[in-house]
Structure 1
């Protein structure tokens, strides 16, 4: 990778990070929810994508320490966003699922992100808007690659 590519990569990473932090904060505020920590957001997102998962699977999948996952899960259970239940296939296992509240909050946050991004896109020219929207598929693929890497 040459110096120009490295500079562009750094600028891209910085822009993505800045946008995501802003969207995460603003969307939660816009829908009137209590903010979650970054770890809580990651764990909740994992459970939403992998219903019936275990704490050990979350730890492995996200590359987090098991003790940190346990503390985070306890907090999410306490605020009514996750539930634990006995796995019917293997009664020794306890699996996690998102609650109806978590699903509703997730939809509300998705709607807020969409609205915020739509407003931001209005500030761009037509070609920039098209370029941003065309980036959805490759960015989604990057997310899949990241999750597949087992961080």
Structure 2
């Protein structure tokens, strides 16, 4: 089994957030969307993937203080990206659902991010482009592994 050296792990740890930041900003700029703060971005990402979560569920899954989630959700509601839907069995309980606007913007951003990446990959050398293509599944598995470890 191939292991990465500490140096390569540190390089990967620096590269992934920088790549994410560049993709986010390029997509938001191209679509003229106002950037979401990181907590709001993670909340909307989670609510899009799991509609109906309660704010407490979001706080637990993201390991964020409930008060921070509450403030971020209030902002997302004001932006028209999240709806708070009362539970039919207990109207005091609110479930978070993405709005149609959130779904549209998310889909548009996903297309833009793919375009941004495609343009950048086209400028890479063939060996670098092939290495990235080969790494896609490994990065997805790495993400899932990290999420599982954090949930323990």
Same fold (TM over 0.5): yes
Partner of 1:15: 15
Return the offset for 1:113. Answer: 0.5
Cα distance in 1 for residues equivalent to 2:88 and 2:11: 48
* Cα distance per residue 1:72-106 (max 9 Å; x no partner): 00000011000011123554421000000000000
Cα distance in 1 for residues equivalent to 2:99 and 2:20: 25
For structure 1, which runs of at least 5 residues remain unmatched after alignment?
Answer: none
Cα distance in 1 for residues equivalent to 2:9 and 2:151: 23
User: Is the 1:52–1:96 contact (alpha carbons within 8 Å) kept by the matching residues of 2?
Assistant: yes
Partner of 1:76: 76
Question: RMSD of aligned C-alpha atoms?
Answer: 1.6
* TM-score of the aligned structures, taking structure 1 as reference length: 0.91
* Cα distance per residue 1:34-92 (max 9 Å; x no partner): 11101110111010111100100000000000000000000000110000111235544
Cα distance in 1 for residues equivalent to 2:140 and 2:92: 35
Return the offset for 1:141. Answer: 1.8
For the residue of structure 1 that corresponds to 2:33, the secondary structure is coil
Return the offset for 1:114. Answer: 0.3
For structure 2, which runs of at least 5 residues remain unmatched after alignment?
Answer: none
Cα distance in 2 for residues equivalent to 1:150 and 1:64: 13
Cα distance in 2 for residues equivalent to 1:146 and 1:8: 17
User: Is the 1:27–1:109 contact (alpha carbons within 8 Å) kept by the matching residues of 2?
Assistant: yes
Does the C-alpha gap of structure 1 residues 46 and 128 become closer, same or farther in structure 2, counting only changes over 3 Å? same
Aligned residues: 148
Cα distance in 2 for residues equivalent to 1:136 and 1:122: 16
Matches within 5 A, 1:2-81: 5-81=5-81
Cα distance in 2 for residues equivalent to 1:89 and 1:127: 57
Partner of 1:99: 99
Partner of 1:117: 117
* Cα distance per residue 1:3-57 (max 9 Å; x no partner): x701111111111121111111111111111111011101110101111001000
Partner of 2:147: 147
